[in-house]
Chain A
């Protein structure tokens, strides 16, 4: 259904580059993040973590720790409620281990003390008796029969019997006769790929402050992408009624999917309940690396057949993901996203998830898609090279369009892939000359996008300005975008609107800030809440004028008679309506709630130029351009920011970032010195081209833009490096030693 009510040329506020409402607080140090809140009587909490990759917990003795002066409470898994839902048990087990520790750094106990020094001392006094067990951290090793079993009894019925018990899930997508398709190909390439686990790398470590009183009421302040989800999880784990737990989201110092669950929050609540005092817990960076995030690591096999003029005849991919010690569904997103960019007659995409002794995977920007599309786009590129064809021409020839049946099932509506590819083709970057040891890589990217549960309230203030109350933490400038859409719909200036993020007691449930859903779904609900208020304002004016409600229309911030037949009345401004609202029926507010669908998928194309030093294997990115369909770009600066930020995270993943495990199952690089995210001097400018193909599922045509941008860099970089080095690479990250070895092996 086409919901578009306002199109190009009709926008006054949307599409401009207004200043963000949180700007001054953030540049002056006033903004309050997770670790910044201080309350009277506050204790400091700390977490004891497993020194083993895998071990049985025989006993935990907390008596000495409790006897230390200044220690006010110690909690273990026994302090959590009995749970019966598998997913909830997993979340609770990850917050505090139950019978076994499942990875190095797994939380075992929590302490609250008068200060940080005392809390740290107390951790050393907790005696845990462990029996170490064999461990496994590699996905392929974990899938083999005879591998150490991380958790038993978690396998779904459709998993093939040849795999170990660690394999929890299997999925298959596709259509057409793949074997017949391969028979039509002029050339077939099949390759194996590996990608390392990458951490979201938000600069703000997880932090929270919990305060529970002995009547069972609690307040929780934390940095999260979803305060309502935190409330659902914590109230279940602590056996509380949701109404008694108020969760307030602090300013959030980055999330990228990694702050969509709980880690320390239930522990802080349990410590507060036991000690009768507010408890603050702030993770160290070491804890963030060892016990939160990262995304999955993968092993995959991709086989694609192509005719000599560049048409793909068939494709078959197998994706094996590990998401740590608990089952996850990321493999399924990868298998579904893999071939989304292509219009294929015959395609099969399979996925498996395996348990390993690593931290529980958390969502990371387009979870599952980057590693799958990396493998697919690498094989497409190699075929293109084989036939001597133009990489963008081949992609255009096979590109998904409106009415293409996607490999994962649905038939696409209006999508922007072709426009994006054509923009890349026309861009001067694509025809710029390359020097010695330089290569240019291309990749498509895709993400589904999401809508979800959303509610928004719009309050008309007595001076005619407007307050928007929404429930999604702002991680990329969404308060500005939401205010802009409200101003647009109401026909008032942006400066007359203020948007705030409500706590869980002030608004109905809102899903987590994820799936690139906020500008789309919260925007849609904001526009509808504004329309609700407009209907009420028109109703009030109709009464004053003594005419039918239908005879009053809303235009540019004024209620007006709908036409000459409605009568001759002076239009009433929103300010006039607000000023007399107490005489016309009381305060005016609009509200809307929805489980939004129609998010509209998103495609992007990246061009990357690199120079590879043949003596060291070091790669320098020398030019980078991102092309992405944003639907209507509400705030172009912030859309560009998403495109640039995602691209650079992808560049880091492609070139540097990886979880490195020792033989002992211990993460060897749990810090920013050794887990190297890109720094400013690593990078060139990141050029951006926004395409605006309206999404029919949103009144203004908005699509989510936050995630797609991390998908193409992996293959774009790998394709560029492979062309620059004259040798194909099949493993990420492409660190200098790996590239040097590939160059040396090539001879």
Chain B
């Protein structure tokens, strides 16, 4: 049999030619901001935008030159080396090596921390996508601020047959506590054997769908330069029933975490959010996260419990990140959620220590 296999391979090889030269690459991405190495607090990469959070004490937005790692073989215009004024957002056009695909990126430099109040009134549809995401306003510049992420990005692929944002786990709802809009998070089923559910979730940070390990895909937290004391807001929860794996009643999760960043820890992921030594304070639900009473929203108010001292100077120069995580399935990170669990969130505020 062995000889026959060899013979068959020889026959095949004589008819099929060898591996050809690689085709020109079709990708046109800004993959990474490479430099300067000092003063960049965090970078949020979206399909057509790059938000660079800086410490204004170390980087002057009007006189800074960033360099980017782009897809293999791709070209970028204008040459980033010739662009030094990022006081307003700058456009770059990235063209793939094969010349077919171009992407226009908006690169924004953000030199303030994230807002402390979220009413979830404003939503946008990312270019070329079918889902919607909440958008905030940078109070200093008036620019849009894209600080929230969720699992909608990978879900967009498996639901490519829909052109309907309400099919996604994270979506706006008119069932609001105040104003016209609130967040609706609904845990959905998927077709993936390894990732059977997509928990309805929303968090501050970014989602990197290219990671194989889903717990590494969620990158929690963005720079925060105040000392948070409490997180308050309104929520409504309806469990979808028994979870996928452990068959226990699904419950929701609301948590906020302040942590210190350093060279190793630029963000927390699904693993490190549980017990990273960088975590300084944590505010989370004290109850089980069960269904809320009545038909409407109920208040939540969780105190940040500090386990480490906050260094004021480091805080003011952007050395701490805040992560807020909402999930309709408490253990959605490990896909142990129930389809149909729905968490509504509105009017979230971070109450900070004004004297610090």
Q: Do A and B bind each other?
A: no
